[in-house]
């Protein structure tokens, strides 16, 4: 039996390279992978961002990903990391899908879990007036503390960050001020789901993953990883995540 493809959705300030070390395990399990790059995320931070990126809404990302899912020809497993975890839910509410994998998911408007840690990690964004309508990029200090704490190649990961939309950041961080466009229709998310989060996640704290898992309507396989930060793609954490994912995929099919 043909196994469903896996649609991989990267996070904010990130690119498909996020999944370079995870894709081989998925493909070895017999699943084709497709990792599209979100609009304007295909250029390094050293290149000035287009002004229109700053006002791009998360709905534009979702529309783009719905079109990408339609190219796969069969309902995929939709996997997302960080903002990609939120996008995965919003896309899954609109397209047929075989399952949902949420790694360190960002909060929907209706799966909030207040914490001061993200504000500390991203203060360099918040403190620039007009950030909600400009391209944004966190500073290295905040990224190391919030995203890549304890990650061996943290400097390389920081250097790989790209510009992203200030409006999207606002829609996620302050949904009530931006029309609650990140609200997920959880009644439509009835497929099996895998949710994984590190207990030391300072960017999308574990409370978000817990709230998300409670809201999902299908069977949920939920895991909290002690001592693990937001970034899940370094050794030895990657091995644990790969094992959880491939075991779940095997049960799914």
DSSP for 73-119 reads SSPPEEEEETHHHHHHHHHHTTS--SEEEEESPPPPTTS----SHHH
Model confidence pLDDT, tens digit, residues 135-178? 999 999 999 999 999 999 999 999 999 999 999 999 999 999 99
User: What pLDDT digit, counting tens, does each position of 56-86 carry?
Assistant: 999 999 999 999 999 999 999 999 999 999 9
* Contact between 149 and 200 (Cβ < 8 Å): yes
**pLDDT tens-digit series, residues 22-46:** 999 999 999 999 999 999 999 999 9
Provide, rounded to the nearest whole percent, the portion of the chain with pLDDT above 70. Answer: 100
Asked if omega into 236 is within 30° of 0 (cis), the reply is yes
- Residue 33: phi, psi to the nearest 5? -120, 150
Q: What angle is formed at CA 227 by the lines to CA 149 and CA 145, rounded to 5 degrees?
A: 15
d(CA 189, CA 212): 11
How does pLDDT run across 180-212, given as a tens digit for each residue?
Answer: 999 999 999 999 999 999 999 999 999 999 999
Task: Evaluate the CA torsion angle 88, 204, 26, 61 in order and state its sign.
Answer: positive
Looking at residue 112, its pLDDT comes to 95
Q: First-to-last CA distance in the chain?
A: 9
Q: How far is CA 33 from CA 4, 72, 79, in A?
A: 9, 10, 10
Cβ-contact 130, 36 below 8 angstroms? no
Give the predicted TM-score (pTM) of the model. Answer: 0.98
Per-residue confidence (pLDDT) for residue 253, from 0 to 100: 76
Confidence of residue 54 (pLDDT cuts 50, 70, 90): very high
Residue 113 binned pLDDT confidence (cut-offs 50, 70, 90): very high
């Amino acid at each position: 039996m043909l196994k469903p493809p896996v649609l991989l959705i990267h996070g904010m300030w990130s690119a498909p390279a996020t999944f370079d070390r995870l894709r081989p395990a998925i493909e070895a399990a017999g699943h084709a992978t497709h990792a599209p790059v979100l609009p304007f995320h295909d250029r390094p931070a050293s290149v000035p961002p287009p002004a229109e990126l700053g006002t791009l809404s998360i709905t534009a990302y979702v529309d783009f990903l719905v079109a990408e899912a339609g190219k796969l020809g069969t309902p995929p497993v939709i996997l997302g990391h960080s903002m990609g975890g939120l996008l995965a839910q919003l896309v899954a509410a609109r397209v047929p899908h075989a399952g949902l994998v949420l790694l360190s998911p960002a909060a929907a408007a209706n799966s909030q879990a207040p914490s001061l840690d993200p504000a500390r990690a991203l203060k360099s964004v918040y403190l620039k007036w007009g950030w909600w309508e400009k391209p944004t990029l966190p500073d290295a200090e905040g990224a190391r503390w919030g995203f890549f704490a304890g990650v061996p190649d943290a400097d390389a990961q920081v250097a790989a960050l790209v510009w992203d939309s200030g409006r999207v950041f606002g829609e996620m961080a302050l949904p009530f001020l931006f029309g609650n466009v990140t609200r997920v229709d959880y009644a439509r998310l009835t497929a099996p789901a895998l949710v994984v989060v590190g207990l030391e996640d300072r960017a999308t704290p574990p409370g978000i993953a817990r709230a998300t898992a409670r809201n999902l309507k299908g069977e949920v396989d939920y895991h909290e990883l002690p001592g693990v930060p937001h970034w899940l793609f370094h050794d030895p954490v990657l091995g644990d995540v790969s094992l959880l994912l491939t075991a779940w995929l095997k049960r799914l099919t």
